[in-house]
Amino acid sequence: MAQAQATASATLPRRYEVVAEVLRQNIREGRIPRGTVLLEGPLAELFRTSRAPVQRALARLEEEGVVHRFAGRGYLAGAADPKVSRRKVDLATLDLDLPFEADEGFGNRQAWRRIQATVEADVTRCLVFGQFRIVETELADHFEVSRTIVRDVLGRLQERRLVDKNASSHWVAGPLTARSIKDQFELRKILEPHGLVSAAPLLDHRQLEAARDRLRAAEGTQASDAELSALANLFVNDLVLATPNLSLRDLIRRNLHTVLISQQVLRQLGLPQDRASIVEQRMMIELLMHGAVDAAASMLSTHIEAAKQRTIAQMKIVAVIPQPISLAPYLRRTDAQSE
């Protein structure tokens, strides 16, 4: 019996082979569009595995020409082609063909994905009105899911610094204040110019040209709020985060998550997009295209300071907005408030 089990196990595909085959099939069938950015972390999460099988699978697919490396992090789906634009997509939102080997446990992943966007929106909406406790049992009852799913969702929101646990081990969110926003932007001024200087030697001229053209097109037309939102942090996401310093990259990304939350709160409350940032980002890219890296880094610091002032001005408008009556039923306002 033991020998039969060993023989059967030997015939099963190894984990990296399953990952490689699923990606290969979905790329060739167009379910993963060409140019889609493939990162080890999200793929490991999708397949519920460690990064090692994902790394090996991507290396195999690169050898086959199914994916290719580029100046940024990760790989791009498809063979190298300068005419194909880079795409950042949450793979969980795509209609992927996942065989049994890859789909084991996928139902549970879909359960938390089903409610996470709603929970995130509910929590984000309350941040400027003080600090709120998130009651696990009521959250589970509200969405008719298990406490395990609830903790999974809240754990992911904690990673994004949207919620945290207080001294009593209760989940809490907020408050988002002018002081906390200032702190976030001050960290940006320390971190991001250094990231840009270290990333500059790795930036391809065609990459800079493509980014500049996207921003210029948004300047020249009445771009929608959705388009402006997609371009709001293009400079950081596509250029600064190309830094080879992994620790610095992680610090920049973590702080930027918090900045994005504050921007999301303001958008949900009806305040307009920051259109000035589009022009400023385009100007910084043009400096890089002319080799003026130090000037671009200096302008990045100025740009962050200006963005901070514009965000603080919007926060002053928010301060006079009354707390909405229809907050999610699993949110409880606490007494711990910040000025």
Q: Report yes or no: 338 and 179 within 8 Å, Cβ to Cβ.
A: yes
| Model pTM score | 0.60
Pair of tokens at residue 129: 């009105």
Per residue in 238-287, pLDDT (tens digit) is 999 999 999 999 899 888 877 887 787 787 777 877 888 999 999 999 99
Q: Which structure tokens are listed for 132?
A: 């709120």
Predicted local confidence at residue 12, as pLDDT: 40
Give me the DSSP letters along 180-230.
HHHHHHHHHHHHHHHHHHHHGGG--HHHHHHHHHHHHHHHHTT--HHHHHH
What are the residue ranges in the chain where pLDDT is below 70? 1-13, 98-112, 223, 323-325, 335-339
Question: Residue 332 and residue 334: Cα distance in Å, rounded?
Answer: 6
Nearest 5°: the CA angle 64, 66, 67 is 110
**Where are the chain's structural domains?**
2-87+95-103, 107-175, 178-318
Task: Report pLDDT for 109.
Answer: 53
Q: What pLDDT is stored for residue 58 in this prediction? A: 94
Of the candidates 305, 82, 80, the residue with the CA atom closest to the CA atom of residue 188: 305
Determine contact, residues 211/234, Cβ cutoff 8 Å.
yes
Q: What is the DSSP letter of 240?
A: G
Using CA atoms, how far apart are residues 157 and 260, in angstroms rounded to an integer? 13
**Top-tier CATH class for 2-87+95-103:** mainly alpha
Domain 107-175 is in which class? mainly alpha
The greatest distance separating any two alpha carbons of the chain, rounded to the nearest whole angstrom, comes to: 73
Q: What is the per-residue burial (b if ≥16 Cβ within 10 Å, else e) of 155-193?
A: ebbeeeebbeeeeeeebbbbbbbbeebeebbebbeebbb
pLDDT for 13 equals 52
Residue 81: the pLDDT is 84
pLDDT at 78: 92
- DSSP state letters, 71-94: SSSSEEESS--TTSPPB---GGGS
CATH number, span 178-318: 1.20.120.530
pLDDT of residue 2: 41
CA distance 276 to 124: 24
| pLDDT for position 175 | 86
Q: What is the pLDDT of residue 1?
A: 41
Query: What helix, strand, coil percent values describe the chain, rounded to 5?
Result: 65, 5, 30
Same fold yes or no, 2-87+95-103 and 107-175:
yes
